[in-house]
Amino acid sequence: MKNKHRKFKRNYIFTYTLLLLGTAIMQFGQANIVYRLTFDYNLTLTGDTIPAITDTLPIHRTDSLTGNIVPDSIKTDSIAKIKVDTFHVKMSKDSIDAPVQYEAKDSMVLDVSAKKLYLYGETKVQYKDIDLKAPEIVFDQETNIVKAKMQLDTAGKVIGQASLVQGDITTVSDSLEFNFKTQKGLTHSSYFQQSELYNFAQVVKKVDARTIYAYKGRFTTCNYDTPHFAFRSKKIKYITQKMAVTGPVGVEFENVPVLPVVLPFGLFPLQQGRHSGFLPPQFTVTDRLGLGLEGLGYYKVISDNFDITTRADIYSYGSWRVNFTPTYRVRYRYNGSLNFSYQNTHQGFKGDADYAKNKSFHITWSHRMDSKARPGVNFSASVNAGSSSYTKFLPSNVIIDQSNGAGGSYSQPQSFANQLSSSISYQKSWIGKPYNLSINLNHNQNNNTSVVNLNLPDINFNVNTLYPFQPLEMAGSGKWYYKLGIGYTGSARGMTSFVDTTFTFKQMIDTFQWGAQHNIPISLALPQLGAIQISPGFGFQERWYSQRLFRTWNDQTKKVDSTISKGFYTARDISMSVSFSTAMYGTLNMKNKDARIQAIRHVMRPQMSVGYKPDLSKTYYLNTQTDTSGRKRMLSQYDGGVYGSFGYGESGSIGFGIDNFVEMKVREKPDSTREQEGDGLKKVKLIDGFGISGSYNLLADSFKLSTFSVYARSTLFDKINITASTAIDPYVVDTLGFRINKYAWQDGKFSLGRITNGSLSVSTSFKSKEKNKDKKEDDRQQYDNYDNLTADEMDAQMDYIRRNPSEFVDFNIPWSVNLSYSLSFSKILRRDYSGFDTRFTSSMQFNGDFSLTEKWKIGANGYFDFQTLKIPSFSMFVSRDMHCWQMSINVTPFGLWRSFNISLNPKSGMLRDLRINRTRTFRNN
């Protein structure tokens, strides 16, 4: 029994020792600090604290505080309880509410009496979102203040500084003091970043989580240690993610202050994304409008889903313009923007011979709907309309660069945009159903002729091909008639035309006409007959018209008179056909295995069709005299209708055509950078497509052979894209250009016919190899803030880039050249039927740039008209990359608009409007 009592005594002493150690640790660690230390205590308890009791049974209990097993004693006739002392730990009211984690590479010293912890050598302290690193850190547990300072080597060189990271703000200082409890701090010689601003101050005081005061500070958007430029102020207040407010502020370049340029105070926005504010203007000079301020306005954020930009232009000769641009957005549903501009233009002075006054407007609207908002439904709008005279009197373009949320600048004139068009579309597809609906409103206008055409509405309803004989569950290919399909396409359209300068509602109603069209195709996909694919088809069409056009020859006026009859009229057409198609392959392999060209492969796809169409249109075709020679033409009463007229006469035609594709396999050079096949061979396309098609009408009484359509496509050397097409008429013509029923190869002549129209397009681009393919875009991206751009704002930004290429040049590519040539011609029948006119266009577009040095780049773009031997449009630029600044010079020496622009501005989006700009614009008469 005595041994049992001694064992119990030793256990109790061990338990009590642990309790004392735990109490000492918790008394010092009231702030819940996690200490990585090792304690070694030797405690000795003397004297019996529990009297010996005989005849007891040991029972084990677990202490609620220590978790140790404590024996208890029970008498034979009663139970004796042993009381164990416990400690009640109370948290101090001034303790911090989260653990502090720390580490040090060199050493740690704990001063228990002073309640301080010293860390040395690459130390690190973490508390909530605060991360502190420094060569030396002292933490005072009683005041909750942590102090950190930098370290110098024996030569006085800085080998480490104090770095404090809290949230998205990083502060690097020579020394700092920070209170974990109050979140206040004081730093000396500190660098920190707020939004796009890089800041330095001799003394920085943080009073709360959002407010920072700086004494003798400097801030800039240049990320160099010694910035190229900076703003310097004695007193600065930073409000995180909102703004920076300064006292008197001056500008310095390369640490040299610009003494005359001192502002009494400064406000610099730090808020990311959209925020309300004034938009600064640009100063400009034009020869017709005088001095002007362009772009003065205000941007207002009404809600998260809606904002509006208001701008105004004012000129010294009396002209002015206002521009309203509201934008709206609902995430995952839709977004859009509206731009309305109204201008009152005075060119020159009253009384001058060239004085002109004009009032005009322009409106654009863009709307996009998220495809996931309502599956199967889509609504979109792209409206670009206005007065035809708007761009003629426009001194500069109204399109605004909204890349920074609301700010921007006006770009160069766009009077070359003589064609305006708009489209509003609603589309619906019934999920699980074979039909769909689309409703469109379209608009187009010509600013030269002032003619406006409207299509309202344009309705289309389609039923996908149905297979009525095909069972719901089919195994294998099935019967041949399972592939018999029938579909439906219906459309209706209303259209009107008017001249906007003389617009009246009566004119619009008088010219309004409508029409409808129904098309029912029936097709059958038969199994292949060997290598030949056979596809029969049948089609029925019906068209509805709202008017008929009657034309008669007037002997007195010697011209064709036209009259229009309003009403409801119909016309029908039936066609049936059978087409045959196949493909043939041929390969020429070279015998010499070491030759550069190893094989040439030719693919030929011939096709033929037989079709029949009865003459259901003879009732509304009239043989009408069209000129003084008595020549007559079959003219339809439905010419000029919404959907046009069906072809005249019965047709039993045989169609034919052939398409060719040629490529070769060559052996690559050892130094080639292109992908190689396993045997070192590559495929090179010689002809992407070359073919001819036509038809022969067996039932026609004249002109049985149709015109031949010829086309060709190729990409030479993977660099030069060539596309060509033409139409060849096999019949000869008279002196006025009208066809005669006589082939061109008759009378012993060798001729395939006349070329009536054609087009040719050649384009290529060349550029040097990039100097550094692994170049990162971080330096450029830090100046751009596109986080909250809508699709419309991004389109506006891309338009601004296209119009101001010198501000967005790629200095990583030493040079690049893009060339494209286009040629087209066609024969057009004159309105009085007296003959044909040939319309011919030929032009070359070019653009390119090259780097004089790593920082200098020049470039030009424009096009040359071979018909007039003039250059209607040409502009050139010179750009200088100055790290955090950009200088650009844009010059348009000739054309409808002549202008030059010199701009020097920071790259940062925050300071985009802080630019030195000089613009002059001249309009040729």
Look up residue 532 and give its DSSP letter.
Answer: B
Question: Which pair of tokens denotes residue 258?
Answer: 């610009």
**Alpha carbon distances (Å) from 848 to 678, 813, 877:** 38, 11, 10
d(CA 702, CA 686) in angstroms, rounded, equals 40
d(CA 295, CA 408) in angstroms, rounded, equals 8
Q: How many CB atoms lie within 10 A of CB 890?
A: 22
Look up residue 351 and give its DSSP letter.
Answer: T
Q: How confident is the model over 111-135, as pLDDT tens digits?
A: 888 889 899 988 998 888 889 999 9
pLDDT at 39: 32
Q: How many CA atoms lie within 13 A of 381 on its CB side?
A: 14
Q: How many CB atoms lie within 10 A of CB 462?
A: 16
How is the chain split among helix, strand and coil, in percent rounded to 5? Answer: 5, 55, 35
pLDDT at 545: 94
d(CA 796, CA 385) in angstroms, rounded, equals 17
Residue identified by tokens 């957005």 is: 329
d(CA 107, CA 37) in angstroms, rounded, equals 11
Tallying the residues shown for the chain, one arrives at: 925
Answer for the pair 352, 381: CB distance below 8 angstroms, yes or no: no
d(CA 732, CA 746) in angstroms, rounded, equals 10
pLDDT at 695: 94
d(CA 284, CA 293) in angstroms, rounded, equals 6
d(CA 627, CA 24) in angstroms, rounded, equals 119
pLDDT at 811: 56
Of 924, 916, 896, the residue nearest 409 (C-alpha): 916
d(CA 378, CA 110) in angstroms, rounded, equals 69
Query: What phi, psi does 920 have (nearest 5°)?
Result: -135, 135
d(CA 9, CA 52) in angstroms, rounded, equals 10
d(CA 517, CA 572) in angstroms, rounded, equals 10
d(CA 790, CA 786) in angstroms, rounded, equals 9
Dihedral angle at the C-alpha atoms of 185, 187, 192, 195, nearest 10 degrees?
A: 30
Answer for the pair 115, 99: CB distance below 8 angstroms, yes or no: no
d(CA 821, CA 829) in angstroms, rounded, equals 27
Answer for the pair 452, 443: CB distance below 8 angstroms, yes or no: yes
Helix boundaries (H) for 653-781? 778-781
Amino acid letter, 377: V
Question: Which pair of tokens denotes residue 99?
Answer: 């653990």
Query: What phi, psi does 26 have (nearest 5°)?
Result: -70, -30
pLDDT-flagged residues of the chain (< 50): 1-82, 84, 396-416, 672, 674, 677, 776, 778-788
Query: What phi, psi does 540 have (nearest 5°)?
Result: -125, 135
pLDDT at 394: 59
Long-range contacts: 421-427, Cβ < 8 Å, 24+?
421/384, 421/445, 422/382, 422/383, 422/384, 422/385, 423/380, 423/381, 423/382, 423/383, 424/380, 424/381, 424/382, 424/383, 425/378, 425/379, 425/380, 425/381, 426/378, 426/379, 427/377, 427/378, 427/379
Residues β-bridged to residue 682: 666
pLDDT at 277: 82
Of 418, 503, 490, the residue nearest 454 (C-alpha): 503
Question: Which pair of tokens denotes residue 453?
Answer: 């055409």
Q: How many CA atoms lie within 13 A of 460 on its CB side?
A: 14
d(CA 78, CA 56) in angstroms, rounded, equals 10
Spatial CB neighbours of 509, under 8 Å, sequence gap ≥ 6? 496
Answer for the pair 262, 289: CB distance below 8 angstroms, yes or no: no
Please tell me whether the peptide bond between 457 and the residue prior to it is cis, using omega within 30 degrees of 0. Answer: yes
d(CA 250, CA 257) in angstroms, rounded, equals 7
Question: Which pair of tokens denotes residue 645?
Answer: 């007229």
d(CA 353, CA 903) in angstroms, rounded, equals 35
Answer for the pair 445, 417: CB distance below 8 angstroms, yes or no: no
